[in-house]
């Protein structure tokens, strides 16, 4: 169910139906509800109009937030691209792509095979992984496990692939995959350095006014969501190649 539809259903009666069938002071709530329902059934175009207006409002707010985020990028370039705590694939690549992601985010999981293919097929792309757990304690544990794999010099991409491909993800599976990909069991629990790393990433995410995962950044462009076509276009632009469309 879309965010716009939820907003529409929450506010529709207040903004539209109340004017047509509002109760008198002390009126019966059940009767009022029946009048609202009857009004909406008789005038379904009201729902469509409200949805369109709310969608337009949400689109405008999203565009403004994206513009604000992109304007902030130059100030955070080093934190985005050169934090030595982050795992980087193809570290000698000339074009940097940064991704904020959560292992339990379904859109991140959908994008993961294409991310891995992008890294494998394009050695000129320097890919920065930003652990950004937003889906609760299991996501946080998975992020700590990934940090432990990096610390041990293990197979970070192997862990990324395994975690993204596992649904549902639980702590026991995270631990098993982390150890299989080189982590030391003793390092899977939160440590002060790992906690500081995740806190810094969380602050950067908020400073950039990002509101969901995945979020990709190429140069001065932010690609919200798993829009891999837009990511490819941004990479082509960074290479100086003409884009399609």
Residue by residue, DSSP assigns 28-44 as -HHHHHHHHHHHHHH-T
Question: What is the pLDDT, as a whole number, of residue 11?
Answer: 52
From first to last of its 245 residues, the chain has per-residue pLDDT tens of 444 444 445 455 444 444 544 555 555 778 888 888 888 788 888 777 777 777 777 656 666 666 777 777 999 999 999 999 999 999 999 999 999 999 999 999 999 999 999 999 999 999 999 999 999 999 999 999 999 999 999 999 999 999 999 999 999 999 999 999 999 999 999 999 999 999 999 999 999 989 899 999 999 999 999 999 999 999 999 998 554 43
Q: Domains of the chain: which residue ranges?
A: 3-71, 83-239
Sheet arrangement for strand 221-224: 87-89, 125-131, 95-101, 215-218, 221-224
* pTM of this structure: 0.74
Adjacent-strand bridge partners of 99: 129, 216
Fold observed for domain 83-239: Glutaredoxin (3.40.30)
C-alpha dihedral, 118 to 195 to 171 to 168, nearest 10°: -40
Question: What is the pLDDT, as a whole number, of residue 152?
Answer: 97
Question: What is the pLDDT, as a whole number, of residue 31?
Answer: 84
- Length of the chain counted residue by residue: 245
Question: What is the pLDDT, as a whole number, of residue 37?
Answer: 83
Question: What is the pLDDT, as a whole number, of residue 26?
Answer: 53
For residue 227, what are the CA distances in angstroms to 58, 207, 215?
Answer: 19, 22, 9
Question: Which among 120, 114, 84 is positioned nearest to 101, based on CA atoms?
Answer: 114
């Amino acid at each position: 169910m879309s965010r716009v539809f939820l907003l529409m259903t929450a506010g529709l009666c207040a903004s539209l139906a109340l004017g047509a069938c509002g109760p008198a002071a002390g009126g019966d709530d059940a009767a009022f509800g029946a009048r609202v329902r009857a009004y909406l059934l008789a005038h379904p175009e009201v729902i469509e109009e409200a949805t369109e207006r709310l969608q337009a409002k949400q689109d405008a707010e999203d565009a403004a937030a994206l513009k604000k985020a992109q304007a902030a990028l130059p100030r955070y370039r080093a934190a985005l691209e050169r934090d030595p705590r982050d795992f980087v694939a193809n570290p000698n690549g000339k074009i940097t792509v940064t991704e904020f992601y959560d292992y339990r985010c379904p859109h991140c999981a959908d994008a993961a095979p294409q991310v891995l293919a992008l890294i494998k097929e394009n050695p000129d792309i320097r890919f920065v992984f930003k652990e950004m757990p937003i889906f609760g304690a299991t996501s946080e544990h998975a992020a700590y496990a990934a940090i432990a794999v990096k610390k041990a010099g293990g197979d970070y991409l192997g862990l990324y692939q395994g975690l993204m491909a596992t649904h549902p993800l639980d702590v026991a599976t995270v631990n098993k995959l982390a150890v299989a990909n080189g982590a030391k069991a003793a390092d899977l629990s939160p440590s002060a350095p790992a906690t500081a790393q995740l806190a810094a990433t969380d602050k950067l995410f908020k400073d950039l006014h990002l509101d969901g995962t995945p979020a990709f950044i190429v140069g001065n462009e932010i690609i919200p969501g798993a829009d891999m076509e837009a990511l490819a276009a941004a990479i082509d632009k960074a290479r100086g190649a003409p884009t399609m469309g």
